[in-house]
A and B are shown apart, each in its own frame.
Chain A
Amino acid sequence: MSRPSLAARWYVPAEIQALRLWLSVAVLVNLLIMALDVVRDGKLWPSLLGIALLALGRLSLPDGQANWKKPVAQLLGAGGVALGLFALAISPRLLYDVWSVAWLVVPCLLLVAWLSRPRVADWAGGRSDREFAERGLARNKESMPRLDVVALHLALLHGLAVVIVPVIWIVDVAVSPGNVLGGAIGDAFTLEHFTAVLSGDSFWTWTRNSLVVAAGTTVFGLALAVPAGYAFSRYQFSGRKESMFLFMLVQMFPGIIILVPYFMVMKTLGLLNTSIGLIIVYSVTALPLGVWMLKGFFDTVPRALEEAAVLDGCNQFEVFFRVVLPLSLPAVAITALFSFLAAWNEFLLALVFNTSNEQYTLPVGLASMIPATGQQWGDFAAASIIVSIPVVVLFVFFQRALIQGLSAGSVKG
């Protein structure tokens, strides 16, 4: 037996490297498919056989020495293709079946096809002279990134499907007539759910409540947070460290410990079933994050500007309102958006504080469309779309700023 030459050890064709990875991944994916087959009560043997073929194919990938491996691997690949086509023929041929079979057939096809390429065949046949290896390495440099990108896109597309399918589904339910959950995607079209939601009173009541609460939270929350953030950023004063620590500490308290006492305090103050109760609570829960974010933003406004304004005869209030606030308006807007979205989406406190349909906010109202019995899926889907679109647009539009703000608040806290 000959030891692999230097060239053989340094040079492995890109196809072989890719197959080594992809066949292993295919085995894992087929294991998952087998688990789903158990759930489906389907036949186990095709997936078991498929996994065996892929695993054996992976084990018998050529190693650069002339031996039995290449023909065996190709034979296994051909077997996998045949098995896949047969499994597809006996399956109900849903989209899922096509997908699961593709995870067997495509890797096997690649195994057969790539091993018969002349360069790979030569390498598998033991050719390892220097010129051959050098050319191969040059070629690898070109094709490896391409293969990598294809694999990356393939993986990302799978992720994309998992994310986007619920969205497509909810749109489909919203435009499907009647109160159905199933049915093929795009089989019928109606706007009845949208008209039902928009012409009913409840939706508008909930929207009004949510708008009042979210706008109130934004205004009240900012009125508390902006001066505090500014003071923390600019002044050295007694108690600064202690109160900043206080704000940090609050962020670490889990919401649950406050839930019951909040309810009791609000109940004794008679603020249950009012928008004011929610506004107060949301403003205060959003306060620590807002203060930390604003402090970070104010830190970036140069002090020289304020000093110049002071020299020009401005007092502290004027400096703040005429110089600092206009300069940090974008930051304040982001903080405002943050409080608004948080209040707009909050569910638990709204559920606990408001028990009448008249005072429901959108989250609680929409959830009330899906009770244990008598669920109105179509109307719920239509309402969800109407509620989500502005939020998603805002989110996507301001994503960078929101993420920066949040990580500034959370990581420091």
Chain B
Amino acid sequence: MRVLRLWAAVTLLALPIMAQAQAQPQTQPRVSVADTEPGYRQIQIDVAVSPDPRVAAYEIWFAENSFSSTRDALLHSRIAVMDVDGLERGAPGENYDYCQVDGLPAYLDADGNAVIDRNAARWSCALTGMVPGRDTWIAVVPVSADGLALVDVDGLQPVSGRTDASDERTPPPDTRPVLYALGSIILSTIVLLVFLRQRDARKGRTRSRLAHVYVAPAVIGLITLTFYPILYGIGLAFTDADQSHLGDEAWVGLKNFVTVFASPGMWRVTGFTLVWAIANTAAHVFFGLLLALALNRAGLTGKTVYRTVFLLPWAIPGYISVLAWNGMLQPEGLVNGVLGTSIDFLAGADSARLVVILVNIWLGIPFMMMTLSGALQALSADMFEAAEVDGVSRWDQFRYLTLPNLKSTMVPVSLLGFIWSFNSFNTIYLMTRGNPYVGFGEPGATDILITYVFSVAFEYGQYGVAAAWSVLIFLMLVVFSWLYLKKTRATEASA
């Protein structure tokens, strides 16, 4: 009897919960791709939905292949659904992802993002950033206010669409300005070298008759292919160069720099880049020095074996090591196997950040180890013997003899390491591609400046903006290097 009553109570309690769990799932929104091409790299989708008070937003997912689960697709955008009373409609073409509801431009929320009327049964959007000339599969998922999908996310039926660049392709760029520039640079360099040669002849330096001929190829190569591109890049930062304006870009003044400073996540990505570079450099120097000291010990058995194995992260091509770590950190990978867990380390923003930093530390230690170990071997052994005789402790020997004497190596090498870390594209790109996703057009959670600039330039095709970023990054590095050298010089002078 008591069991029965208990059963009844449990059932009664559970009923509402079950009812909620089994609530009618939303019907899957029907997506169709419009024939019209709204613009370059854009696909227009029309979506038929069944209005439902539970829907708080629609997520648009896409992939290069057909998919049935959101796990195999990328999130393109999330469009909020709300009551539109008191909101204003946007103007056509005003928004990045231009959306329409029932044939009229969508309402905009306070931040200027398109929102969809709660009662709308049809809406359409122009999806930007699509790769031209390739089929793209698109599905729309309604989600509730707490972010849960209201349809089965493993049973999606995406539709395919494509945008063809062929009718948008710009005429082949005019190469003459570049060729003229290169030609005149080469000519003027040759003239300069001939002039210098003449001056030497006048001064009577005859031994160096051929010196200018010897250096000419290298100097011309350097000027045409390094200095000219740098100047070209600086110039590019002030133009509207992008995928559709190449060769006929127009001067836009400081607009690109304004875009950079106004871009969402600018300070976040700069901050993370600094954290990334400083953490990496500090760890590289610390562990590199530790290993160098350990391997510098006289008569250590197996020194050659240790040295050779510790060299491996440097000897193995970097992209291979990074991809290997990527595999080891997957939920079914080795790290989880060792720990007996199945964590997706690269899914959460903080854990992904920590993990990419650790992987990059792993990669960079051998270089520091070998450089510092070379510097250690160059220190005079007599000095340490004398200290030993005087009874100086091991720690004091390190503190007052090794460190000050290593400083002349450590200062430039750590600056170099900082610049390398600052620009180390491979680790981030091959581990996470900057993901976890934060927002469309925004740097991802693990993006550093260089990977973000890469996506601005080669995924969004905004060369001018990317050039502006590059100039700013360069200035940051110059300022940092200058501060660092000034600081270390100052301590040198006071020491």
Q: Which of A40, A225, A243, A268 contacts B247 (CB 8 A)?
A: A268
Asked whether A321 is an interface residue with its Cβ less than 8 Å from the other chain, the reply is no
Known contacts A254-B477, A388-B317; A411/B193 CB under 8 A = no
Asked whether A39 is an interface residue with its Cβ less than 8 Å from the other chain, the reply is yes
Do A263 and B457 touch across chains, with their CB atoms under 8 A apart?
yes
Q: Hey, which chain B residues are within 8 Å of A95, CB to CB?
A: 338
Do A288 and B205 touch across chains, with their CB atoms under 8 A apart?
no
Do A284 and B226 touch across chains, with their CB atoms under 8 A apart?
yes
Do A228 and B453 touch across chains, with their CB atoms under 8 A apart?
no
Q: Hey, which chain B residues are within 8 Å of A259, CB to CB?
A: 453-454, 457, 470
A285 to B416 Cα, complex, angstroms = 16
B453-482 CB contacts (< 8 Å) to partner A = 453-454, 457-458, 463, 466-467, 470-471, 473-474, 477, 481
Q: How far is the CB of B100 from chain A (nearest CB, A)?
A: 30
Do A149 and B300 touch across chains, with their CB atoms under 8 A apart?
yes
Q: Hey, which chain A residues are within 8 Å of B326, CB to CB?
A: 370
| Interface-facing stretch out of A58-66, A105-113, A152-160 | A152-160
B212-258 CB contacts (< 8 Å) to partner A = 212-215, 217-219, 221-223, 225-230, 232-233, 236, 241, 246-247
Asked whether B184 is an interface residue with its Cβ less than 8 Å from the other chain, the reply is no
Q: Which of A156, A183, A238 contacts B200 (CB 8 A)?
A: A238
Do A396 and B205 touch across chains, with their CB atoms under 8 A apart?
no
A339-388 CB contacts (< 8 Å) to partner B = 344-345, 347-348, 352, 363, 366-367, 370, 372-375, 377, 380-381, 384, 387-388
Asked whether A304 is an interface residue with its Cβ less than 8 Å from the other chain, the reply is no
Do A236 and B226 touch across chains, with their CB atoms under 8 A apart?
no
Q: Which of A224, A235, A240, A384 contacts B323 (CB 8 A)?
A: A384
Asked whether B426 is an interface residue with its Cβ less than 8 Å from the other chain, the reply is yes
| Interface-facing stretch out of B8-16, B20-28, B260-268, B303-311 | B303-311
Q: Is chain B's binding surface mostly helix, strand, loop or mixed?
A: helix
Asked whether A407 is an interface residue with its Cβ less than 8 Å from the other chain, the reply is yes
Q: Hey, which chain A residues are within 8 Å of B246, CB to CB?
A: 264, 267-268
Q: Hey, which chain A residues are within 8 Å of B374, CB to CB?
A: 403-404, 407
Chain A: residues with Cβ within 8 Å of the partner, total of 106
Do B219 and A246 touch across chains, with their CB atoms under 8 A apart?
yes
Do B230 and A257 touch across chains, with their CB atoms under 8 A apart?
yes
Q: Hey, which chain B residues are within 8 Å of A374, CB to CB?
A: 65
Asked whether B413 is an interface residue with its Cβ less than 8 Å from the other chain, the reply is yes
Asked whether B3 is an interface residue with its Cβ less than 8 Å from the other chain, the reply is no
Do A254 and B474 touch across chains, with their CB atoms under 8 A apart?
yes
Interface centre among A96, A254, A388, A395 (most CB of B within 10 A): A254
Asked whether B383 is an interface residue with its Cβ less than 8 Å from the other chain, the reply is no
The total number of A-B Cβ pairs within 8 Å is 292
Asked whether A330 is an interface residue with its Cβ less than 8 Å from the other chain, the reply is no
A227 to B219 Cα, complex, angstroms = 11
Q: Which of A263, A287, A391 contacts B218 (CB 8 A)?
A: A287
Question: Scoring B residues 193 to 218 as 1 if CB is less than 8 Å from chain A, else 0, what string do you get?
Answer: 10011011001010111111111011
Asked whether A223 is an interface residue with its Cβ less than 8 Å from the other chain, the reply is yes
A384 to B232 Cα, complex, angstroms = 37
Question: Scoring A residues 308 to 326 as 1 if CB is less than 8 Å from chain B, else 0, what string do you get?
Answer: 0000000011000000000
Asked whether A253 is an interface residue with its Cβ less than 8 Å from the other chain, the reply is yes
A308 to B219 Cα, complex, angstroms = 30
B432-461 CB contacts (< 8 Å) to partner A = 433, 449-450, 453-454, 457-458
Asked whether B314 is an interface residue with its Cβ less than 8 Å from the other chain, the reply is yes
Do A250 and B222 touch across chains, with their CB atoms under 8 A apart?
yes
Asked whether A175 is an interface residue with its Cβ less than 8 Å from the other chain, the reply is no
A223 to B221 Cα, complex, angstroms = 11
Asked whether B53 is an interface residue with its Cβ less than 8 Å from the other chain, the reply is no
Asked whether B4 is an interface residue with its Cβ less than 8 Å from the other chain, the reply is no
- Nearest residue (CB) in B for A255 is B423
A136 to B474 Cα, complex, angstroms = 62
Q: Hey, which chain B residues are within 8 Å of A152, CB to CB?
A: 294, 297, 300
| Interface-facing stretch out of A1-9, A43-51, A163-171, A201-209 | A163-171
Asked whether B44 is an interface residue with its Cβ less than 8 Å from the other chain, the reply is no
Q: List 11 A-B contacts (CB under 8 A).
A: A164-B312, A256-B453, A259-B454, A259-B457, A268-B178, A363-B317, A367-B323, A372-B433, A373-B63, A374-B65, A380-B327
The 8 closest A-B pairs by CB, nearest first: A261-B233, A228-B218, A395-B315, A235-B208, A231-B214, A227-B214, A261-B229, A235-B211
Interface of B toward A, CB cutoff 8 Å? 63, 65, 67, 72, 74, 173, 175, 178-179, 192-193, 196-197, 199-200, 203, 205, 207-215, 217-219, 221-223, 225-230, 232-233, 236, 241, 246-247, 291, 294, 297, 300-302, 306, 308-321, 323-328, 330, 332-334, 336-341, 343, 362, 370-371, 374, 409, 412-413, 416, 419, 422-423, 425-426, 429-430, 433, 449-450, 453-454, 457-458, 463, 466-467, 470-471, 473-474, 477, 481
